[in-house]
Structures are given as C-alpha cells and as structure tokens.
C-alpha cells in the first residue's frame, strides 16, 4: 500500500512539473502598464524619483543601492539593488538603457530568476504629473516563467503599492 502511494505521489509530481514546464514554455513575456497622477510638478517628481535616499521610503524591502560600473545616471551604468522582504534577500542588477530628464528613463532588471525591462515616462499638465510605468518581464527558464504568470496579480499589486507609496510621499510631504 505504501509503495503504491509513493508511486502515485511520484507520478503526480512528475506530471505537475511537466505541466509547469509546458505552461511556462508556452507563455511569452508578462507585460503590464500602470498609470498614476501625482499632485506635484514634474521636475519635483523626477527629482524625488531619482534620489536614492528616497528609495527606502517607497520601495518595499529596499535596503541599499550599489554602483557597479559607469557614471551614475548615464546610459550603460549598472547598479546592484538590495532588497529584503520577510527575510528573503534578493539582489537585482539594474542597467540604465535610456534617460531623458525629467521625462523618463528605461532600465533592465535581472537576477537568477527573471529579466525585466521597465520604461517610466512622466508628463505635466496643470501642475500635476502623469507617470506611466510599462514593465515587460520573463522568467529565466520555463519553471520561473510559469511561476511569474501564475503570480501576475501579486506582481502587479506589489508594483502598484510601491508606486502608490511614492505618490503619497510626494503629495503628503
């Protein structure tokens, strides 16, 4: 009886892993877009957004940023972003791919699990800043890609929480 149960569990595990592999292989990159209106002038939003001293105030789990290569704030510069969420330490490598102050920037984020591209644009109208964040991400293998697709709602919610915290800090300072 125990051997049959172990065999059943083994087969079920193989089928689940195989299903995750097939699902992850069949999914492309995740894409999301988020838009915020911030009651502050664009130059103020840009200045606050670009200041690493503010990151802990609005990025969940952010600990520190470390310059790796290049000249800070220029295309091609690379950084290590250190996070700790509930004891889960994570380092993301960031490469700045474009910058157009105070209108926006683009960068790549990578680690062992995924690769993401973010494009952040800002525009001002009547003293308020519209911020649009586009993110495209993909797991580094079929399993991570499947996990990302299954966790898409949580990923979007966490991103929304961070940018809402950014908005609130600016509007309530």
Report the domain count for the chain.
1
* CATH number of the domain where residue 17 is located: 3.30.530.20
What are the tens digits of pLDDT across the range 148-173? 878 888 889 999 999 999 999 999 97
d(CA 128, CA 63): 30
3-class secondary structure, 102: coil
Longest dimension (CA), the chain: 73
d(CA 104, CA 131): 9
pTM metric for this prediction: 0.82
* Domain that includes residue 110, residue range: 2-171
What are the tens digits of pLDDT across the range 40-70? 999 999 999 999 999 999 999 999 999 999 9
């Amino acid at each position: 009886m125990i051997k049959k149960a172990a065999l059943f569990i083994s087969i079920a595990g193989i089928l689940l892993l195989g299903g995750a592999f097939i699902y992850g292989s069949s999914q492309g990159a995740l894409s999301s877009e988020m838009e915020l209106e911030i009651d502050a002038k664009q130059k103020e939003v840009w200045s606050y957004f670009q200041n690493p001293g503010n990151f802990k105030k609005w990025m969940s789990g952010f600990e520190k940023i470390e310059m790796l290569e290049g000249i800070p704030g220029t295309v091609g510069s690379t950084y290590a972003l250190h996070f700790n969420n509930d004891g889960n330490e994570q380092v993301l490598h960031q490469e700045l791919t474009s910058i157009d102050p105070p209108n926006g920037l683009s960068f790549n984020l990578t680690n062992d699990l995924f690769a993401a591209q973010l494009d952040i644009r800002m525009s001002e109208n009547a003293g308020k800043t519209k911020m649009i964040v586009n993110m495209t991400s993909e797991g580094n293998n079929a399993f991570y890609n499947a996990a990302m697709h299954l966790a898409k709602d949580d990923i979007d919610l966490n991103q929304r929480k961070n940018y809402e915290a950014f908005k609130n800090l600016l509007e309530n300072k």
